[in-house]
Amino acid sequence: MENYQISLCVYSLLVTGPPGSGKGTQSPIIKDEFCLCHLATGDMLRAAVAAKTPLGIKAKEAMNKGELVSDDLVVGIIDEAMKKPSCQKGFILDGFPRTVVQAQKLDEMLEKQGAKIDKVLDFAIDDSILEERITGRWIHPSSGRSYHTKFAPPKVSGVDDVTGEPLIQRKDDTAEVLKSRLDAFHKQTEPVINYYAKKGVLAQLHAEKPPKEVTTENSKKKKMKLTPREVEKLGLHNAGFLAQKRLARGLKLNYTETVALIATQILEFVRDGDRTVAELMDLGKQFLGRRHVLSAVPHLLDTVQVEGTFPDGTKLITVHDPIASENGNLELALHGSFLPVPSSDKFASIEDDENPGHIIHGYGDIMLNPRRKAVVIKVTNTGDRPVQVGSHYHFIEVNPFLVFDRMRAYGMRLNILAGTATRFEPGECKSVVLVSIGGNRVIRGGNGIVDGPVDDARWEEVFRTLNERGFGNKEEANASEGITGEGLPFNMVVSREAYANMYGPTTGDKIQLGDTDLYAEIEKDFSVYGEECVFGGGKVIRDGMGQSCGHITAESLDTVITNALVIDYSGIYKADIGIKGGLIVSIGKAGNPDVMNGVSPNMIIGVNTEVIAGEGKILTAGAIDCHVHFICPQLAYEAISSGITTVVGGGTGPSEGTRATTCTPAPFQMKLMLQSTDELPLNFGFTGKGNSSKPDELHEIIKAGAMGLKLHEDWGTTPAAIDNCLTVAEQYDIQVNIHTDTLNESGFVEHTIAAFKGRTIHTYHSEGAGGGHAPDIIKVCGVKNVLPSSTNPTRPFTFNTIDEHLDMLMVCHHLDKNIPEDVAFAESRIRAETIAAEDILHDMGAISIISSDSQAMGRIGEVITRTWQTAHKMKSQRGSIDPTGSNNDNFRIKRYIAKYTINPAIANGISQYVGSVEASFVMCDRNQVGKWADLVLWKAPFFGAKPEMIIKGGVIAWANMGDPNASIPTPEPLNDALPNITVDPETYTVTADGEVLTCAEATTVPLSKNYFLF
């Protein structure tokens, strides 16, 4: 990496950007920091005129005539200035060139001097920000004091703070003049930016940032010239070095640490420069042994890929099976780190094998393309190059140098696994089994021999075309014919293991969810065995094969997700998912109905269809977190990266009110919150403050856009406020979320329940650690009109749960540890007994929802993870809950996934749009109504921990990606229990229908140590 101060060499720097972008502010800073001379063309021109230099005299003559100073004159003046001693180390050029012609003339002049423009800094900024920045400027003319209506306003509008005299606005700062200047910039100067971009010397600065941040960014770009891929790899290096430090002290590495260490060390050996790609591919397998990593890692990690710069350029290094031995070579793993190599006795013996996401296969093999006409024919390759034919290629249309009985191949294709191929080497003759194509039996594409329906009456026409175009054809009178499924040689049978490796598990197979003890059994597979849609080179989804030809765009899908294992409250099944207009329009079998059997309605794959491969992956609905404190915008990125696509809550930023309560109180704040989230790829719902015993202000916040109201004890959740809030909410048919009165100030839990008056309400953190009537708010979980939810810090109950909560509570609710009453308030909320009971109530289906309580006693990125940790713990302690006695965990899985998908959707009145993997329906006016395609794809070993892809409204909004420069991208019905719950006010013992609810605290949970760096 280049790493030098530019003041050590002759360095030519050009700054450009629209007026007001900060060039004038930053140029002197750059000049001083890097010892450059500052060449501002306007200043140089005036100086040349004043000094009466030959060029200055010519410039003066032009100005006296009212003419523009020619480009050649300006370039000449720059040429003169560059020869001054102060410019010998380099210069910064400001204000020129303004046109492409000027840029070309400048380059010609510099080339004559053996110089060039080394870097162009473009101060990029949006016009709307510039308008706000410039038109807000006002000055006091006599003193020069400047003000800004937003950033530095005067004490009295329009008046100087010192003299009281009126302020004026310069003509250049008016909106009219600014628009004219910006129009000129966009017309003339933006092409100059493109000119230098093509030369590879352009660097963009985010000029909308404060000046100090722009200066910092500026320095980084000039000092090290870091490209984005280098910045990315610095992050990788940091993680790799962290992994080395942990390894050096005897810790077994998890998946993330292992990948980081291997990739980092490969790059370091690349930098050493004495090994080839092939040597490094082998070396990468030697760093770590099985004893140095957690037992799940060898199964989670099959390859590591990284790109580095060799003497002959950037190359890809792929390390297959990177944990290939027991002991590895720690000297290689720590090479260059200067860390001590630990002795092998620091690492315990290899633990029991753990294989997250593995499949338990069902019984029996799978028959492909059953009950179809079949024929065995001999094929000879008479060409001098190999020919490879894919499963769904119309065999009559194949390469003319393949010689076989084409009449018998009419309307047939290979009887092989979908997406595989048969290869014919030059001169080779082999027998293949063909089966009839399915669907409407229409041939399109290929060599255009048939181009129409399969019809025996057309054979003579087809035969004539074959002969005229020289396609090899040889009649085979004794070819065997039959029906698939009636025995050899026509049958194509595949083992379940081989099938699952290609297309994912099928009916009767079970798959482990991450590293939990939960196993989902596939209840149904919509696939037609042998007709699976697979994308890729030589695969199925190609023109005339799996991709239809001749269907209009309106009839085909926008996007199809192929062969995905759907886990939803509605079922656990394998299917293709069809997306159109941002909605899930169909679930079933996708493909080309002209050649495939079983293609579902509205599931045509056409030329306008994008493909997302779901083979071997799990698909769920996007999670809904319905307890979000909108404290900072970064929550959105944490949420979506964990699998959340909808957030409901309230707030205005890191105010004391928002830190404690999910309320956006004022209509003005509601407007701004709605506007500020427009560009974030999530569904947002905002709740207004509901704590008022009178209705007027509640009407106002609802009309401003509140989708619900929040009652919180910190604002006074009294029976009067509860009754009024529910009354108003009933008028608008919106939800009320309540955080009840921990202090029991206005009454006990039964008084609050009475204030509900049988009306539906959503109770937040219904166990009570997050707040609510102490100690028995948990009773609400047995009330019919109450939709109870939990927040995730208490999910599940573990041996560290109690210890973390007290300080968490003190901070979130603005309490003072020096005030005894505040401490007592906090301690009354943290009860091991009710938290343990909460685990069981979730497993019984008495608590419907799990949410986060983000940054206010909750973690938005762990809603999904902690839901499955709770399910795992309950299975380990309570066993199966399936009422049918099935040997799988499907019932429990459906119950728990409903807690963060369909149940919060129902609770917030949005289940017609989000919350499940269900197809939309079409109204009589042809308008589609139904579920947004808000979906999450997971690799099974990482299920519940780290998603692979987030699809928002049918568009990929977040995905697990690698190096951007790299050459390759590597419902409520299930939670409806209503037990009669009691809590002993002294011992906090919880009973449900007379049974004591207690469980042991967990000492370990899945979806944790195997996956996360911190």
The pLDDT of residue 734 is above 60: yes
Using pLDDT thresholds of 50, 70 and 90, give the confidence band for residue 929. Answer: low
Let me know whether 773 and 649 are in one domain: yes
Question: Is 50 exceeded by the pLDDT of residue 95?
Answer: yes
Confidence of residue 525 (pLDDT cuts 50, 70, 90): very high
182 DSSP assignment: H
CB atoms under 10 Å from CB of 406, counted, come to 24
Tell me the residue type at 254: N
Q: Does residue 257 belong to any structural domain of this protein?
A: yes
> Are the beta carbons of 935 and 561 closer than 8 angstroms?
yes
Cβ neighbours of residue 750 under 8 Å, at least 6 residues apart? 779
Q: Give the separation between CA 939 and CA 318, rounded to whole angstroms.
A: 20
Q: Are 316 and 967 in contact (CB under 8 A)?
A: yes
- C-beta separation of 705 from 676 below 8 A: no
CA distances from 967 to 212, 236, 308, 642 (A): 36, 18, 11, 27
pLDDT for 775? 92
Q: Are 726 and 700 in contact (CB under 8 A)?
A: no
In a domain, 911, yes or no: no
The vertex-262 CA angle with 256 and 268, nearest 5°, equals: 130
Measure CA 828 to chain center: 40
Residue among 765, 986, 864, 877 nearest 514 (CA):
864
Higher pLDDT, 226 or 889: 889
- Is residue 64 a contact partner of residue 17, using CB atoms and an 8 Å limit? no
Backbone phi, psi, residue 29, to 5°: -65, -45
Reading the block at residue 1013, the tokens are 């760096």
Q: Where is the binding site for substrate, in residues? A: 712
- The binding site consists of 627, 629, 710, 712, 739, 765, 853
CATH number of residue 304's parent domain: 3.30.280.10
Q: Which CATH number fits the domain that encloses residue 406?
A: 2.10.150.10
The token pair at 683 is 């569904």
Q: What is the CATH number of the domain that holds 82?
A: 3.40.50.300
Binding-site members for Ni(2+) are 627, 629, 710, 739, 765, 853
Picking from 167, 185, 219, the residue at the C-terminal end of a domain is 219
Q: Return the closest-CA partner of residue 805 out of 857, 845, 850, 737.
A: 857
pLDDT digits (tens, 9 = 90+) for 753-763: 999 999 999 99
Instruction: Please name the amino acid found at residue 353.
Output: D
CA atoms within 13 A on the CB side of 422: 23
User: What local confidence, expressed as pLDDT, does residue 229 receive?
Assistant: 82
The pLDDT of residue 7 is 27
pLDDT of residue 923: 44
Pairing verdict, β 761-763 and 786-791: parallel
Model confidence over 413-450: pLDDT tens digits? 999 999 999 999 999 999 999 999 999 999 999 999 99
300 and 210 within one domain:
no
What value does the mean pLDDT take over residues 491-496? 95
Whether 170 and 257 share a structural domain: no
CATH code, domain with 636: 3.20.20.140
Is the pLDDT at 344 greater than 80, yes or no?
Answer: yes
Cβ-count burial 480-491 (b if 16+ within 10 Å, e if not): eebebbeeeebb
In a domain, 504, yes or no: no
Residue 6's pLDDT is 26
**Residue 5 pLDDT:** 26
795 to 775, 850, 863: CA distances (angstroms): 18, 9, 9
Per the residue annotation, which of 38, 299, 551, 813 is the catalytic one? 813
| pLDDT recorded at residue 968 | 56
**The pLDDT value given to residue 542:** 98
Task: Look at residues 833, 840, 836, 832 and name the one whose alpha carbon lies nearest to residue 805.
Answer: 832
DSSP per position, 758-793: T--EEESSTTSTTSSSTTTGGGGGG-TTEEEEEEGG
Give 224-242 pLDDT, tens digit per residue: 677 778 888 888 999 999 9
**CB count, 10 Å around CB of 849?**
33
End-to-end C-alpha distance for the chain, whole angstroms:
29
Per-residue HEC secondary structure of 624-690 comes to EEEEEECCCCHHHHHHHHHCEEEEEEECCCCCHHHHHCCCCCCHHHHHHHHHHCCCCCCEEEEEEEC
Rounded to whole angstroms, the Cα distance separating 45 from 31 reads: 19
Question: Region 122-130: what's the mean pLDDT?
Answer: 82
Weakest mean pLDDT among 33-37, 511-515, 710-714, 992-996: 33-37
In terms of residue numbers, what domain contains 310?
Answer: 229-349+970-1013
Work out the average pLDDT over 978-1001: 90
End position of a domain, from candidates 168, 191, 219: 219
Looking at 878, 908, 926, the residue that finishes a domain is 878
Strand-strand pairing, 761-763 and 510-512: unpaired
Across the chain, mean pLDDT equals 90
CA atoms of 186 and 180, how far apart (whole Å): 10
User: Over the stretch 448-467, which tens digit does the pLDDT of each residue have?
Assistant: 999 999 999 999 999 999 99
Q: Which of 226, 223, 317 is nearest to 270 (CA)?
A: 317
Nearest alpha-carbon partner for 893 in 524, 510, 627:
510
Q: How far is residue 215's CA from residue 230's CA, in Å, rounded to a whole number?
A: 20
Instruction: Kindly give the residue spans of alpha helices, DSSP state H, lying in 224-321.
Output: 228-248, 255-272, 277-283, 297-300
pLDDT at residue 177, as a whole number:
83
Look at strands 373-381 and 402-403 and give their pairing.
antiparallel
Q: Domain tally for the chain?
A: 5
921 pLDDT band (50/70/90 cuts)? low
Residue 45: inside a domain, yes or no? Answer: yes
Rounded to the nearest 10 degrees, the angle between the axes of helix 863-878 and helix 832-844 is: 90
pLDDT confidence band for 8 (50 / 70 / 90): very low
Q: Which residue has the tokens 């001083």?
A: 32
- Within-domain flag for 64: yes
Closest residue by Cα to residue 123 from 192, 207, 65: 207
Sorted by sequence, the CB contacts under 8 Å of residue 668 that are 6+ apart come out as none
pLDDT at 3: 28
Both 650 and 786 in one domain: the answer is: yes
Instruction: Evaluate whether residue 359 is within a structural domain.
Output: no
Q: Is 41's pLDDT higher than 90?
A: no
Output the pLDDT for position 1: 26
Q: Report the run of H or E that residue 618 belongs to, with start and end.
A: strand 617-621
Q: What is the pLDDT of residues 359-395, one digit of tens each?
A: 999 999 999 999 999 999 999 999 999 999 999 999 9
619 vs 938: CA distance, rounded Å = 6
Residue 847 has pLDDT above 60, yes or no: yes
Element (H, E) at 834: helix 832-844
The amino acid present at 913, given as its one-letter code, is Y
Structure-model confidence comparison of residues 72 and 397, the more confident one: 397
Q: Rounded CA gap, 833 and 500, in Å?
A: 44
| pLDDT for position 9 | 34
**Cα–Cα distance for residue pair 135/593, rounded to 1 Å:** 61
Residue 683 near residue 676, CB atoms below 8 Å: no
Nearest to residue 302, comparing CAs of 936, 1005, 970, 950? 970
Going by the DSSP 8-state scheme, the letter that residue 190 receives in this structure is: H
Residues 26 and 91 in one domain: yes
Looking at the fold, whether 635 and 680 belong to one and the same domain comes out as yes
Name 951's bridge partners: 935, 956
Count of other CB atoms within 10 angstroms of residue 959: 14
Pair (28, 140) in one structural domain: yes
Residue 14's closest CA among 213, 220, 208, 192? 192
Structure tokens at 406: 């084409």
Note whether residue 4 is domain-resident.
no
Are 649 and 775 in the same domain? yes
CATH of the domain at 547: 2.30.40.10
CA distances from 55 to 59, 110, 715 (A): 6, 18, 75
Q: How many other CB atoms sit within 10 Å of the CB of residue 951?
A: 26
Cα–Cα dist 819/806, whole Å: 14
Please say if the pLDDT value at position 665 is more than 80. Answer: yes
Any domain includes 596: yes
Angle at 791 between CA 787 and CA 795, to 5 degrees: 115
Distance separating alpha carbons of residues 863 and 372, to the nearest angstrom: 49
Pull the structure tokens for residue 480. Answer: 């065997």
Each residue of 124-148: b (16+ CB within 10 Å) or e?
ebeeeebeebbbbbbbbeeeebebe
* Whether the predicted pLDDT of 970 surpasses 90: no
- In the 8-state DSSP scheme, what is residue 4? -
How many other β-carbons are positioned within 10 Å of the β-carbon of residue 891?
16
Residue 148 known to be catalytic: no
CB 768 within 8 A of CB 794: no
Distance, in Å, from the CA atom of 815 to the CA atom of 714, rounded to the nearest integer, reads 11
76 with 174, same domain?
yes
DSSP state of 377: E
Q: Please report, rounded to a whole number, the percentage of residues in the chain having pLDDT higher than 70.
A: 94
Residues 212, 218, 220: CA angle, nearest 5 degrees: 110
495 vs 490: CA distance, rounded Å: 17
pLDDT band at 211 (very low <50, low <70, confident <90, very high): low
pLDDT at 972 over 60: no
Does position 517 have pLDDT exceeding 70, yes or no?
yes
Same domain, 842 and 732: yes
pLDDT digits 0-9 by tens, 137-186:
889 888 888 888 887 888 888 999 989 999 998 887 888 888 887 887 78
Give yes or no: residues 209 and 97 share one domain: yes
- Give CA–CA dist 942/936, Å, rounded: 12
Do residues 90 and 189 both lie within one domain? Answer: yes
Token digits of residue 691 = 């704590």
